[in-house]
Amino acid sequence: MVAENLSPATIRTRHFVMQKFQKFLAARGMPQTVADISREHIQEFITETLRQNKPQTANIYQQALRRLFAWLLDEGEIRQKLASGMSTLRVAGIMHFSGSC
């Protein structure tokens, strides 16, 4: 993340989201190894985030996970794009999550 020239606030936010995602997975008995995490796990996390937070928060979490999984793909840690095809959440009007990819 430092190589991307990100602000300290962005780095803290991404780290926080990664910790929340890890805790979410552990609490539900979902895979802890990145190679075993599926798009559905990410979608469930974002859906749960929407239940508890504002849509803007869910967008921030989704963006952080997109960046994480894009990096994991670049590093060869995973073999398929998991979060890149997930639609951005709509904030205005009726809120819904589009998990179709």
Residue 89 makes CB contacts below 8 A (sequence gap 6+) with 46, 50, 55, 58, 59, 62, 95, 96, 97, 98
pTM: 0.78
Q: At residue 43, does pLDDT exceed 50?
A: yes
pLDDT at 87: 58
Residue 42: CB atoms within 10 Å: 23
Q: At residue 97, does pLDDT exceed 50?
A: no
DSSP state of 90: P
Greater confidence (26 vs 92) lies with: 26
CA distances from 91 to 43, 49, 54, 84, 96 (A): 17, 14, 9, 19, 9
Tokens of 35: 């190679």
Average pLDDT rounded to a whole number, residues 13-22? 96
pLDDT tens, 56-90?
999 999 999 999 988 889 999 888 877 655 555 55
CB–CB of 8/52 below 8 Å? no
Give residue 95's identity as a one-letter amino acid code. M
Q: How far apart are CA 45 and CA 26, in angstroms?
A: 12
